[in-house]
C-alpha cells in the first residue's frame, strides 16, 4: 500500500490528501491534531521512512526548508513539489509551457523549483488557486475584492480539485515539470465582475495600482497564459473545471460565500 507524506498541510495539500486514497501523514507548523510539527525531526524522519510518496507544499523562505533539513531522507521515494507558474515571469500575454525559460521575479522559488527537479520530482507549477472558501466569490462577499482597470492583464487560474486530481495522476507519471491550469486564462477584472454578477451585487470599485502592496503591484505587472497540454498528454489529466465560470458555479453550489479572511489575493501565489 502506498503511504503519502506531506510537508505543509495547507489548503491545497489537504485537498490532495483527501483525493489520494492513501494513508497520509503530514506536517504543520503547530503540530495540530493528526499532524506532526515540521521541526520534530525524529517524528518527521520516522514518517518519511514509512512513506512511499512525499509531497512538499512548503514555499521557500530563502532556502527551501524541506530540502535544507530533510533532503538526505528523500531517496527512493516518489517526490512531488507544488511550485508556481510565477517562475515563468512576464511573458507579455503570450502562452508559456514547461519549456519556457525560468525567469520569475522570486528567485528563491525559481531555485527551489530547479532543486526539486534535480532530485527527480514531479514539479507541479500552479497559477492562481481558488475553490470553496477561497474564491473571488468570497472576496466579493467580504468586500475585499477590487478591479484594476487592466483589461489586458491576463493570467491563469485553477480550481483546487483540479490540482488534487492532477497530482494524484502524477503518482504514476515520469519526473518533470507539469503546469496544472485551466483552459481559459483571462483578466482578473473579468473574473471579479463575473463573481459579483453571480452574487447579484455591483462590481467592486477600481483601485489605483500605486495603492496596492509591492507584491500585488509586481503581480499585476506580469502577463501570461499558461498552457496545460503536457499535463493532459502525459498525465491523462483533464480539468473538471476548464474555465472560471464553471469553477465558480461549483463553488457557489457547494458553499455560501461569506466574509472571511480565508480568500487570498491572487497576487499572493504562495498561499498553498
How many domains is the chain partitioned into structurally?
Answer: 1
C-alpha cell at 61: 523562505
Residue 272 maps to a domain: no
Distance CA 206, CA 54 (A): 43
For position 219, which CATH number holds? Answer: 3.40.50.720
Residue 266 maps to a domain: no
Bridge partners (DSSP) of residue 158 are 129
Task: Check residue 102 and report its DSSP letter.
Answer: -
CA dist 118 → 86, 107, 109, 255 (Å): 19, 17, 14, 40
Residue 265 maps to a domain: no
pTM for this entry: 0.93
pLDDT (0 to 100) of residue 217: 87
Residue 259 maps to a domain: no
Whether the Cβ atoms of residue 55 and residue 5 lie closer than 8 Å to each other: yes
Residue 263 maps to a domain: no
pLDDT (0 to 100) of residue 258: 60
Residue 215 maps to a domain: yes
Residue 268 maps to a domain: no
Ramachandran class of 21: left when φ > 0, alpha when ψ lies in -120 to 50, beta otherwise: left
Nearest to 181 by CA among 159, 152, 164: 159
Whether the Cβ atoms of residue 54 and residue 188 lie closer than 8 Å to each other: no
Tell me the pLDDT of the chain (272 aa) as tens digits: 799 999 999 999 999 999 999 999 999 999 998 999 999 999 999 999 999 999 999 999 889 999 999 999 999 999 999 999 999 999 999 999 999 999 988 899 999 999 999 999 999 999 999 999 999 999 999 999 999 999 889 999 999 999 999 999 999 999 999 999 999 999 999 999 999 999 999 999 999 988 888 888 888 889 999 999 999 999 999 999 999 999 999 999 987 766 444 445 555 544 46
pLDDT (0 to 100) of residue 265: 55
Q: Which residue has the cell 478591479?
A: 147
Nearest to 84 by CA among 158, 15, 26, 184: 158
C-alpha cell at 271: 498561499
Q: Which domain holds residue 57?
A: 4-254
Whether the Cβ atoms of residue 149 and residue 260 lie closer than 8 Å to each other: no
Amino acid at each position: 500500500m502506498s503511504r503519502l507524506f506531506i510537508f505543509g498541510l495547507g489548503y491545497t495539500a489537504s485537498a490532495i490528501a483527501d483525493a489520494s486514497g492513501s494513508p497520509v501523514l503530514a506536517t504543520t507548523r503547530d503540530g495540530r491534531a493528526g499532524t506532526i510539527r515540521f521541526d520534530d525531526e525524529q517524528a518527521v524522519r520516522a514518517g518519511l521512512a514509512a512513506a512511499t510518496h512525499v509531497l512538499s507544499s512548503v514555499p521557500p523562505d530563502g532556502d527551501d526548508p524541506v530540502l535544507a533539513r530533510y533532503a538526505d531522507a528523500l531517496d527512493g521515494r516518489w517526490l512531488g513539489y507544488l511550485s508556481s507558474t510565477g517562475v515563468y515571469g512576464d511573458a507579455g500575454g503570450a502562452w508559456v509551457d514547461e519549456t519556457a525559460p525560468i525567469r520569475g521575479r522570486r528567485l528563491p522559488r525559481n531555485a527551489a523549483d530547479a532543486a526539486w527537479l534535480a532530485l527527480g520530482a514531479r514539479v507541479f507549477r500552479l497559477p492562481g488557486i481558488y475553490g470553496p472558501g477561497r474564491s473571488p466569490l468570497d472576496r466579493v462577499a467580504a468586500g475585499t475584492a477590487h478591479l484594476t482597470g487592466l483589461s489586458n492583464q491576463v493570467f491563469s487560474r485553477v480550481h483546487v480539485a483540479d490540482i488534487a486530481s492532477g497530482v494524484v495522476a502524477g503518482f504514476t507519471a515520469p519526473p518533470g515539470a507539469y503546469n496544472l491550469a485551466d483552459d481559459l486564462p483571462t483578466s482578473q477584472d473579468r473574473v471579479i465582475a463575473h463573481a459579483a454578477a453571480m452574487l447579484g451585487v455591483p462590481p467592486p470599485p477600481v483601485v489605483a495600482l500605486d495603492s496596492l502592496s509591492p507584491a500585488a503591484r509586481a503581480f499585476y505587472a506580469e502577463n501570461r497564459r499558461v498552457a496545460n497540454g503536457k499535463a493532459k498528454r502525459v498525465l491523462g489529466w483533464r480539468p473538471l473545471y476548464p474555465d472560471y465560470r464553471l469553477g465558480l458555479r461549483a463553488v457557489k453550489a457547494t458553499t455560501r460565500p461569506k466574509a472571511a479572511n480565508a480568500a487570498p489575493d491572487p497576487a499572493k501565489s504562495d498561499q498553498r
